C-alpha cells in the first residue's frame, strides 16, 4: 500500500498520513549546517559534525518512535495539536507532509485552523528556518496560543547521553527579547553557542525542560501547554530547552505568519563576551536580521530552490519510463548529495553518534556526486588521502570536524586503499584536472611527510601487491567491503568487536573481491600514469593487473562462479565445498564488471549462477545458503539470523555491481530487471512491506530466509545511492566519462524506446538523443556530433566548447 505519492512537477514526495511504517525523513542543509526532519517533525540539528557539534537532542530507539524534534504546539481552547501530528498525536482533520529538495513543508488543520510549516536551511547561514503560517478558516474569531519546543543537546551527542554526573550540572542559557541562547560550556572551552528565536514579541518562554513538561510528563503532554502559560524558567544545569509562547488572535479568514530561526553562532576567542558573563550576541543578531520578514524568507527559499535546480540539471533524462526519469533527475542524485555531505556520520533513528566519514564510504560516494560539484569532490579526495598511512593502508574512518583518522576502529580493511584510486580516477575523468595528481598531500595528516597525490595512489596499489597470500590473491586484513567477513577475528565471546578483535593481518586469509577490484582500479591507475607521462609505471601496473587476473582464474574460480575468499586455514569461502555460504554476490559482480572471465566465458556462467541461486523478487541476496550456525573462522557474517544483513540479506549496495556486470555482457533486460527490484520508485506500492522511504535507497532488504522478507533497513546514508546512480547513468543509459571525452554506449531493456539525455561535462552541455529502431539491448551503429558522423561511441572532448548535439543510433 501507499502512504503518499510523488509530485514530479515540484520534485516532492507527498506523505498523506503521519502513520508511516517508520519515520520518513528528509535532510536539510547544503554546506555546514544540517537538520534531519521526519514526516512528524522529529529529528535533530548539528553544525559540521553530528556527534561533536549537535544542537538538539534526539532519542534513539525510543518508544514511541521518533522523539525528539522541533515541535510547534497549537492550543485552541482545550484542544492541543501539532502540525506534524507528533508528539501529541491529536487526530487531525487534514495532514500533508511534502519532502522536497532541501526543504520540508507540513500542512495540517484542526477545528477550522490551518497550519503550514516550511522548514529549510538557507544556503549561506548556519541556521534552520521554520516559517509557520496560521489561517483561521472558520467563521468565528480564534484565540490561539503557539508554543515552540526544542531540547538542547550539550554539544557532544555521545557524551550527552552518558555523562550525567557532569552534564546534569552544566546547562546554561540567556534570554533576550524573543531569542533564547544556549551557552552551555561557552564560559570555558567553547567559543560557540546556539540560538532559537522568533520574529515577534513573545508572551512567555521556558528554558527548563522540567518546568515546561512538568513532573513525570513527556513531550506529548507538556504542563505549560496544558496550562496555556510558560513559566519563564531559566535553566541552570539539568536539561535546558527553548520554548516560546505566542498568543495569537485570528479573525475569521485571517492569516498570520511567524518565523522561527534555530542557529549556530561562533565568535573569535577575543570577542566572546559582551560584558562580564554575557555572551557577545552581535553575530547572532546580524544573522537573525536576515530572516525577520516573509519577503526575506521567500528570497532565501527561492535561492535554495535555484541552487538545487541548477545542480540537478547537470544530468537529466527524458524517457518513456517516468520512474527512471523521477529517480535519475531528482531523487537518486539528491540522495547522492546528502550522502556526500554526511557519509555515514548522521543517520536517523539507528545512530548518528558512533561513526565519522568512511574512507571507503566517502570514496564510493564520490562516484555519485563528482559530476554535480567537482570542486568539492576534489577537496574530499584530499581530505581522504590525508588520512592514509605511508605504507598505503588507511584509517577506516575519519571525523568530519577534525578530518583526522578515527583510531577507535583503526585500519586493516584491505580494500580501502583501492577505493582512493577509484575516487581519484572518477574525478580526473570527469574534470580533466590532472593538477590534483601533483598536489602535495600529507600522510596521517603530517605535512612533514607529504607527497604528491599520485604517490598516494601508487602506495595504494603497492599495498595490495605487497600483501598477498599463498594463492597470490590479496590478503583481506580485518575485512574487505563486507565488514562482516572477519576471517582473522576468531571472536568467541560477547564484547569482542568483530572489526577490531584479533590481528588486522592474518597469515593467509585472502579476498577474491579485492582481487577483482585490483583488476579494475589497477587499470584505471595505469591510465592516470599515462596521463602523467609515466609509461613505465603504467606498464608495471598492467603487468601486476594481469598477474592478478591470472590468479583469479587459477584459484578464484569454483566451476560455476567466483570464490569469495580463502579463510585463515586456506579453506575456500563461497564455494560448492562449503555447506553454507556457497556463493556470494560480491566477486560475481565486481570480477565481471572488471572484465574478469568475459573472454573465457566464465563471466556469463557466474552471472547465470547469481540469477539461479541468489535472485529474489526483492533483489539479489548477498549469499546462499544462509548461515544457520556461528562460524568462528568467518566472524560477524554468520552471527545474524538467516536473511538479515550480511547473512543472506539483500544488500542494495552491491546489486548495482551485478547490474553493471550484466551490461558488460550486453544483457540489458537482466541489468534493468536488477535495477528495478531495489529502485524505490518501483516498489512504492509495497511500502507496508518495505517500510523505509519510497523515495530513497536503503542499505539492506531482508532476504528470503528472513521472517520479515522484503523489509528494508538503514535508509539514506548508504553507498547504494552512488553505485545505483553510476549503474543507471553510466552503464544502463550508458553515458560514461572517459579521459578522451564522453562515451555513449547504452545497455537497455527491449522496449525501453528512444530517450534523450542532457549532461554537463567539463565546460560543455551535451544534448544526447538515443534512437533504437531495431529495439536492441546494446550496440551503437552510428553517432553524429553536431551533424557530423564520428566513428565509435566516444564524443571527442574539445577544450572550451560549450555545447554539443549528439545523435546515437543503436543497432
The strand pairing partners of 26, in sequence order, are: 37
Classify residue 516 by burial, with Cβ atoms within 10 Å: 0-12, 13-18, 19+.
Answer: buried
Alpha-carbon distance of 715 to 724, in angstroms, equals 14
- Give the angle subtended at the CA of 15 by the CAs of 124 and 13, to the nearest 5°: 55
Q: Could you tell me if 129 and 259 are in contact, meaning their C-beta atoms sit under 8 angstroms apart?
A: yes
SS3 state at 320: coil
Alpha-carbon distance of 91 to 109, in angstroms, equals 10
Alpha-carbon distance of 686 to 1, in angstroms, equals 5
Classify residue 233 by burial, with Cβ atoms within 10 Å: 0-12, 13-18, 19+.
Answer: buried
Alpha-carbon distance of 758 to 480, in angstroms, equals 36
The strand pairing partners of 573, in sequence order, are: 565
Burial code (b: 16+ CB inside 10 Å, e: under 16) for 413-426 equals bbbbbbbbbbbbbb
Peptide bond into 87 cis (omega under 30): yes
User: What DSSP character marks residue 468?
Assistant: B
Q: Is the dihedral of CA 42, 47, 51, 52 positive or negative?
A: negative
Provide CB contacts within 8 A for 405, sequence distance 6+. 387, 394, 395, 397, 398, 411, 444, 445
Alpha-carbon distance of 227 to 234, in angstroms, equals 18
- The torsion angles phi and psi of 743, rounded to 5 degrees, stand at -100, 135
Alpha-carbon distance of 403 to 442, in angstroms, equals 12
User: What DSSP character marks residue 686?
Assistant: G
- The torsion angles phi and psi of 633, rounded to 5 degrees, stand at -80, -10
Q: Which residues are catalytic?
A: 483
Closest by CA position to 240, among listed 269, 211, 218: 211
- Give the angle subtended at the CA of 574 by the CAs of 572 and 578, to the nearest 5°: 70
Taking the CB of residue 449, how many other CB atoms lie within 10 A of it? 9
The strand pairing partners of 764, in sequence order, are: 761
Strands (E) across 39-126 are located at 45-47, 54-56, 71-76, 79-81, 94-99, 103-110, 113-120
Quick one: three-class SS letters along 229-255? CCCCECCECCCEEEEEEEEEEECCCCE
The strand pairing partners of 761, in sequence order, are: 764
Q: Could you tell me if 128 and 45 are in contact, meaning their C-beta atoms sit under 8 angstroms apart?
A: yes
Distance, first Cα to last Cα, the chain: 40
Alpha-carbon distance of 342 to 32, in angstroms, equals 10
Q: Could you tell me if 574 and 581 are in contact, meaning their C-beta atoms sit under 8 angstroms apart?
A: yes
Amino acid at each position: 500500500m501507499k502512504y503518499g505519492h510523488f509530485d514530479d512537477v515540484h520534485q516532492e514526495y507527498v506523505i498523506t498520513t503521519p502513520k508511516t511504517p517508520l519515520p520518513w525523513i528528509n535532510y536539510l542543509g547544503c554546506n555546514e549546517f544540517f537538520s534531519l526532519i521526519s514526516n512528524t517533525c522529529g529529528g535533530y540539528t548539528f553544525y559540521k559534525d553530528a556527534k561533536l557539534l549537535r544542537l538538539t537532542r534526539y532519542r534513539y530507539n525510543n518508544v514511541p518512535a521518533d522523539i525528539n524534534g522541533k515541535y510547534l504546539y497549537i492550543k485552541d481552547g482545550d484542544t492541543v495539536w501539532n502540525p506534524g501530528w507528533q508528539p501529541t498525536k491529536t487526530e487531525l482533520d487534514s495532514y500533508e507532509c511534502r519532502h522536497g529538495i532541501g526543504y520540508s513543508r507540513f500542512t495540517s488543520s484542526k477545528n477550522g485552523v490551518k497550519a503550514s510549516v516550511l522548514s529549510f536551511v538557507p544556503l549561506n547561514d548556519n541556521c534552520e528556518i521554520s516559517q509557520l503560517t496560521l489561517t483561521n478558516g472558520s467563521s468565528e474569531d480564534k484565540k490561539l496560543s503557539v508554543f515552540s519546543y526544542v531540547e538542547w543537546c550539550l554539544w557532544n551527542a555521545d557524551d550527552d547521553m552518558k555523562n550525567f554526573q557532569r552534564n546534569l550540572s552544566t546547562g546554561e542559557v540567556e534570554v533576550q527579547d524573543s531569542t533564547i541562547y544556549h551557552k552551555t560550556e561557552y564560559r570555558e572551552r567553547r567559543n560557540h553557542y546556539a540560538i532559537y528565536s522568533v520574529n515577534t514579541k513573545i508572551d512567555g518562554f521556558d528554558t527548563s525542560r522540567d518546568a515546561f513538561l512538568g513532573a513525570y510528563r513527556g513531550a506529548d503532554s507538556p504542563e505549560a501547554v496544558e496550562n496555556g502559560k510558560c513559566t519563564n524558567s531559566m535553566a541552570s544545569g539539568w536539561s535546558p530547552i527553548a520554548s516560546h509562547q505566542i498568543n495569537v488572535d485570528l479573525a475569521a479568514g485571517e492569516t498570520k505568519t511567524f518565523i522561527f530561526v534555530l542557529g549556530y553562532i561562533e565568535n573569535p576567542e577575543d570577542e566572546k563576551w559582551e560584558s562580564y558573563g554575557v555572551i557577545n550576541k552581535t553575530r547572532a543578531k546580524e544573522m537573525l536580521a536576515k530572516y525577520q520578514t516573509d519577503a526575506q524568507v521567500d528570497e532565501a527559499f527561492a535561492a535554495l530552490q535555484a541552487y538545487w535546480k541548477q545542480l540537478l540539471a547537470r544530468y537529466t533524462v527524458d524517457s518513456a519510463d517516468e520512474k527512471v526519469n523521477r529517480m535519475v533527475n531528482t531523487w537518486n542524485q539528491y540522495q547522492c548529495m546528502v550522502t556526500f555531505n554526511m557519509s555515514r556520520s548522521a543517520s536517523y533513528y539507528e545512530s548518528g553518534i558512533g561513526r565519522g566519514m568512511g574512507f571507503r564510504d566517502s570514496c564510493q560516494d564520490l562516484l555519485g556526486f563528482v559530476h554535480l560539484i567537482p570542486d568539492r569532490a576534489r577537496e574530499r579526495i584530499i581530505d581522504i588521502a590525508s588520512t592514509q598511512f605511508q605504507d598505503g593502508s588507511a584509517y577506516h574512518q575519519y571525523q568530519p570536524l577534525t578530518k583526522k583518522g578515527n583510531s577507535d576502529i583503526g585500519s586493516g580493511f584491505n580494500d580501502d586503499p583501492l577505493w582512493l584510486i577509484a575516487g581519484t580516477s572518477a574525478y580526473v575523468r570527469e574534470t580533466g584536472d590532472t593538477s590534483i595528481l601533483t598536489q602535495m598531500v600529507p600522510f596521517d595528516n603530517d605535512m612533514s611527510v607529504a607527497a604528491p597525490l599520485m604517490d598516494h595512489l601508487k602506495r595504494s596499489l603497492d599495498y595490495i601487491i605487497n600483501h598477498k597470500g599463498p594463492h597470490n590473491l590479496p590478503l583481506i586484513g580485518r575485512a574487505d567491503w563486507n565488514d562482516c567477513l572477519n576471517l582473522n577475528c576468531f571472536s568467541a565471546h560477547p564484547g569482542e568487536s568483530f572489526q577490531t578483535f584479533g590481528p588486522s593481518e592474518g597469515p593467509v586469509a585472502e579476498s577474491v573481491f579485492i582481487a577483482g577490484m585490483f583488476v579494475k582500479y589497477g587499470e584505471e591507475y595505469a591510465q592516470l600514469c599515462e596521463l602523467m607521462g609515466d609509461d613505465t609505471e603504467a606498464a608495471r601496473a598492467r603487468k601486476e593487473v594481469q598477474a592478478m587476473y591470472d590468479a583469479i582464474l587459477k584459484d578464484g574460480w569454483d566451476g560455476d562462479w567466483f570464490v569469495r575468499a580463502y579463510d585463515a586455514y586456506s579453506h575456500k569461502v563461497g564455494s560448492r565445498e562449503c555447506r553454507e555460504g556457497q556463493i556470494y554476490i560480491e566477486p560475481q559482480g565486481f570480477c565481471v564488471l572488471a572484465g574478469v572471465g568475459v573472454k573465457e566465458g566464465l563471466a556469463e556462467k557466474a552471472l547465470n549462477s547469481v540469477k539461479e541461486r541468489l535472485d529474489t523478487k526483492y533483489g539479489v541476496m548477498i549469499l546462499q545458503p544462509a548461515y544457520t550456525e556461528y562460524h568462528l573462522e568467518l566472524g560477524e557474517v554468520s552471527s545474524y539470523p538467516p536473511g538479515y544483513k550480511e547473512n543472506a540479506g539483500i544488500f542494495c549496495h552491491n546489486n548495482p555491481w551485478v547490474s553493471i556486470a550484466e551490461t558488460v555482457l550486453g544483457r540489458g533486460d537482466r541489468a534493468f530487471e536488477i535495477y528495478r527490484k531495489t529502485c524505490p520508485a518501483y516498489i512504492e506500492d509495497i511500502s507496508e512491506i518495505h517500510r523505509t522511504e519510497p523515495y530513497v535507497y536503503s542499505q539492506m532488504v531482508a532476504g528470503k530466509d528472513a521472517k520479515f522478507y522484503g523489509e528494508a533497513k538503514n535508509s539514506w546514508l548508504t553507498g547504494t545511492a552512488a553505485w545505483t546512480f553510476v549503474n543507471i547513468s553510466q552503464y544502463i543509459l550508458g553515458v560514461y566519462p572517459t579521459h578522451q571525452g564522453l562515451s555513449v554506449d547504452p545497455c537497455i531493456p527491449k522496449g525501453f524506446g528512444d530517450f534523450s539525455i542532457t549532461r554537463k561535462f567539463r565546460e560543455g552541455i551535451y544534448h544526447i538523443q538515443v534512437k533504437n529502431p531495431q529495439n536492441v539491448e546494446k550496440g551503437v551503429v552510428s553517432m553524429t556530433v553536431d551533424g557530423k558522423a564520428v566513428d565509435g561511441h566516444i564524443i571527442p572532448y574539445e577544450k572550451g566548447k560549450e555545447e554539443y548535439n549528439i545523435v546515437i543510433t543503436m543497432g
